[in-house]
Every structure is written in C-alpha cells, then in structure tokens.
C-alpha cells in the first residue's frame, strides 16, 4: 500500500540544514500495524507528516527519495491531488486534540464538516454519519454530545473525536502521531483498544508514532526504531522486544521499568543527548551514548543489515558479539 524509498527530509534553519529524515525506507501492507518508536527529536513526526506532504515548505525540502501510495508518487502530487489524498486515502490523528479541534465550534458541526469535505452528502446524511462515528469510537449519548463544545469533553474523549474525524471517509491508512501522550494509563489503554477495534471493523492499515514502547508492544505487527533521523532497527514486535540486535533499542528497553518478581531488572538510563542533526558526528551516531561502543564505532557508520528474516539492525556488532557483550555487562552490573 505504502512504499517509502530512501527518503530524505531537510529543514532549513538559521543555524544550518537539519537532516530530520536521513535515507529512510520501509513499506506498509494493507491491514498492517506499523509502529515507529524513538526519542523526541529522532525524526518520527517529520517522517509521518512527509507521507502526506504536510511539512511546511519552506523550511522543509525533500532532496532525495520517494513516497508511493498505491503506486502514485506523493511528493510529486499537485495541490489538488494532495487534497484528494488527505483524509480520503490517508488520515492522521494528531497528538494534541485540544489544538486540533476548534474550541468555539460544536463537535457535531466539526464532524459534519469533515464528512462533507470528502463526501458530497446532504447535511442530514452527514449528521447521521457523524453520530454513527461517535458510536464507533465509544462515546455515549452521541446525539447529545454532537451539541457539545470540545472543552466539555475529557482528554480521552477529545482523542476519540479526532479518531472519528479521521475515519470520516474510511481511509486506507490511519496515521496516529503520539495519540496517547497526554492521557493517563487507563485512558491510554482504552484508546489503544479502540484503534484495534476500528482496524478490525474498517480494515485500515495503521501507522503509530510513539516514544512509548508499551504502546508498540500492544499494537504493532512490525516496528521501526529511529535514532537521529535514521532507522537503526526494524523487525516484528518479537524481534524488537526479545531478539534486539541494536544497542540503542536495548538501551530503550532497559531504561523502562518491568515487572519481574524473581529477578527485578536494574534500570539503566541512556546517558547524554542525541547528536545534532545539523552536524552529524562521523561513525555511529549512537556511539557517544552506547555502553557497548568500540573504537571502530567512531569511524564506521553502520548500515541497516539483515539479521534474520525481516529483522534488520544498524550495528557493527554481529548478533553473537552483541549477545556476548550483553552477558559481560550483566556480569559487571551484578557485582
């Protein structure tokens, strides 16, 4: 359905050119859930916005690479073609529902406008469709809620409204950019379960962008790990969580608490900060923060290479070398 090939996205700033996305390639199949995970500033959101060409131009430019949706080149589309693509074939749920909804317009009016923007329906039909969408996303008393303003909804309910708006034209791909960031744990779980139900009902592919590995574990079939504008590991959820071959992914996993009654895992923070995307250091971008770094890591920039099947990682250490290094570090930590 979606094919991204060697995509580069640059952002012009007074300090220089930020290489926000640096040679990224991946694909999404119909009905698949793809998770993209990484720290803030890794390029996740810029990448997501590029798939609909939403990054403002300037400062954004696309010097290299292509994005294909069902064989059509998105980056070469006219404004009219992009308007037809956005919302109809690809829809996005943004991370801040309060800034995405008009605070002085009733929710029902905004839903009806979203429906009629993509489907030429009479207002009455669009109204009934909007009510159905609110039912689909689990909002009770939808007829009453249609007359409410956004501030009369909780954060979780506003996020559900945004999902309903994204579903207005039955998109083939739904992009969710940090959809649970501002929500408490209970509401997060409800929103994630909702996305699963929506996918099952509508058959949409989902691309979810997050820094929360728990969200990825709950939803994703395939996972991309981004660091400094590049994909540094990709694979199934099992590959990423149980067979990781990249020190950055390993560090992310070890920096979050887990429940292990018999052998509690010691948390290991990731020291330092991500590198500048204006002047990237030579070699591996993660080397200054990597607990397994070697001298050669300062000189060699590892390519994303296959490890086993669809699992790929960007590290000069082989899988066996990485497993051995993990065992040695574990021994040191247990002393």
Q: Kindly report the CATH number assigned to the domain that includes residue 205.
A: 3.40.50.300
Query: Which pLDDT score is estimated for 98?
Result: 73
Mutual orientation of helices 155-166 and 185-202 as an angle, nearest 10°?
20
pLDDT for the residue numbered 188: 79
Name the residue with higher pLDDT: 189 or 38: 38
* pLDDT of 7: 96
- Whether residues 149 and 47 share a domain: the answer is yes
Q: Are 168 and 133 in contact (CB under 8 A)?
A: yes
> Angle formed by the axes of helices 155-166 and 107-118, to 10°?
20
- Give pLDDT, residue 192: 84
- Position 159 scores a pLDDT of 85
pLDDT above 90 (res 119): no
* 160 domain residue, yes or no: yes
* Predicted confidence (pLDDT) at residue 215 exceeds the cutoff of 70: yes
Look at 218 and 96; give whichever has higher pLDDT: 218
Residues 67-87 have a mean pLDDT of: 92
Burial grade of 263 (CB within 10 A; 0-12, 13-18, 19 or more)? exposed
Domain boundary among 220, 255, 283: 220
Residues 199 and 158 in one domain: yes
As for how many domains the chain has, the answer is 2
- Residue 229 maps to a domain: no
- Residue 258 reports pLDDT greater than 70: no
Examine residue 10 and state whether it is found in any structural domain, yes or no. Answer: yes
- The residue from 180, 204, 220 where one domain ends is 220
Do residue 204 and residue 276 come from a single domain? Answer: no
- Lowest-confidence region among 26-30, 69-73, 274-278: 274-278
Least confident of 22-31, 175-184, 204-213: 175-184
> Average pLDDT for residues 240-262, to the nearest whole number?
81
H, E, C per residue of the chain: CEEEEEEEEEEEECCEEEEEEEEEEEEECCCCEEEEECCCCCCHHHHHHHCCCCCCCCCEEEEEEEEEECCEEHHHCCHHHHHHHECCCEEEECCCHHHHCCCCCCHHHHHHHHHHHHCCCCHHHHHHHHHHHHHHCCCCCHHHHCCCCHHHCCHHHHHHHHHHHHHHHCCCEEEEECCCCCCCHHHHHHHHHHHHHHHHHHCCEEEEEECCHHHHHHHCCEEEEEECCEEEEEEEHHHHHHCCCCHHHHHHHHCCCCCCCCCCCCCCCCCCCCCCCCCCCCCCCCHHHCCCCCHHHHCCCCCCEEEECCEEECCCCCHHHHHHHHHHHHHHHCC
The per-residue pLDDT for range 266-302, each reduced to its tens digit, is 677 788 888 889 988 889 999 999 989 899 999 999 9
Position 231 in a domain: no
- Say if 235 falls within a structural domain: no
pLDDT digits (tens, 9 = 90+) for 147-159: 999 999 988 888 8
Q: In this model, does residue 257 exceed pLDDT 80?
A: no
Instruction: Looking at the structure, tell me whether residues 210 and 266 fall in a common domain.
Output: no
Q: Is the pLDDT of residue 69 over 90?
A: yes
Domain residue limits at 317: 246-333
CA-nearest of 263, 178, 171, 247 to 212 is 178
φ/ψ (deg, to 5) at 25: -135, 135
> Are 61 and 10 contacting, i.e. CB atoms less than 8 angstroms apart?
yes
pLDDT of residue 54: 92
The answer, yes or no, to whether residue 216 has pLDDT greater than 90, is no
User: Mean pLDDT in the chain?
Assistant: 88
pLDDT at 261 > cutoff 70 = no
Determine, yes or no, domain membership for 239.
no
Residue 199 and residue 86 in one domain: yes
Strands 2-13 and 60-69: antiparallel
pLDDT at res. 254: 83
pLDDT of residue 264: 56
Query: What pLDDT sits at residue 169?
Result: 82
Look at residue 237 and tell me if it is in a domain: no
Same domain membership, residue 140 and residue 58: yes
Q: Which residue, 184, 202, 220, sits at the end of a domain?
A: 220
Q: Tokens 């408490």 identify what position?
A: 184
pLDDT cut 70: percent of the chain above it: 94
On whether both 181 and 250 belong to a single domain, the answer is no
Asked whether residue 77 falls in the same domain as residue 188, the answer is: yes
128 shares its domain with 256: no
Assigned domain for 78 exists: yes
Within this chain, do residues 209 and 273 fall inside the same structural domain, yes or no?
no
Do residues 108 and 194 share a domain? yes
Q: Which band of pLDDT confidence, cut at 50, 70 and 90, is reported for residue 265?
A: low
Report d(CA 189, CA 180) in Å as an integer.
9
Same domain, 275 and 172: no
């Amino acid at each position: 359905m979606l094919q991204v090939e060697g995509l580069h996205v640059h952002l012009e700033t007074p300090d220089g050119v930020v290489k926000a996305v640096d040679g990224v390639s991946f694909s999404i199949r119909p009905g698949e859930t793809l998770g993209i995970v990484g720290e803030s500033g890794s390029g996740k959101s810029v990448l997501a916005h590029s798939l609909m060409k939403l990054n403002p131009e300037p400062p954004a430019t696309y010097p290299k690479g292509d994005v294909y949706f069902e064989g059509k080149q998105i980056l070469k589309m006219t404004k009219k073609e992009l308007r037809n693509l956005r919302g109809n074939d690809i829809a996005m749920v943004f991370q801040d529902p309060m800034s995405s909804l008009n605070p002085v317009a009733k929710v029902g009016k905004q839903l009806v406008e979203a429906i009629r923007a993509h489907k030429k329906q009479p207002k009455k039909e669009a109204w009934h469709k909007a009510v159905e969408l609110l039912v689909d996303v689990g909002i009770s008393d939808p007829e009453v809620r249609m007359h409410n303003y956004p501030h009369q909804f909780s954060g979780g309910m506003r996020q559900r409204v945004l999902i309903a708006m994204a579903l207005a034209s039955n998109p083939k791909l739904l992009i969710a950019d940090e959809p649970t960031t501002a929500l408490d744990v209970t509401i997060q779980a409800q929103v994630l379960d909702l996305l699963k139900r929506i996918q099952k009902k509508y058959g949409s592919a989902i691309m979810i962008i997050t820094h929360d590995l728990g969200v990825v574990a709950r939803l994703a079939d395939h996972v991309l790990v981004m660091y400094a504008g590049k994909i540094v590991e990709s694979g199934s959820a099992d590959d990423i969580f149980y067979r990781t071959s990249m020190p950055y992914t390993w560090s992310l996993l070890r920096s979050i608490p887990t429940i292990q009654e018999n052998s509690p895992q010691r948390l290991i923070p990731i020291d330092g900060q991500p590198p500048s995307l204006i002047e990237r250091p030579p070699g591996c971008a993660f080397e200054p923060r990597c607990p397994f770094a070697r001298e050669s890591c300062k000189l060699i920039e590892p390519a994303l290479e296959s490890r086993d099947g669809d699992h790929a990682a960007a590290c000069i250490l082989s899988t066996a070398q990485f497993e051995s290094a993990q065992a040695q570090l574990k021994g040191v930590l247990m002393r």
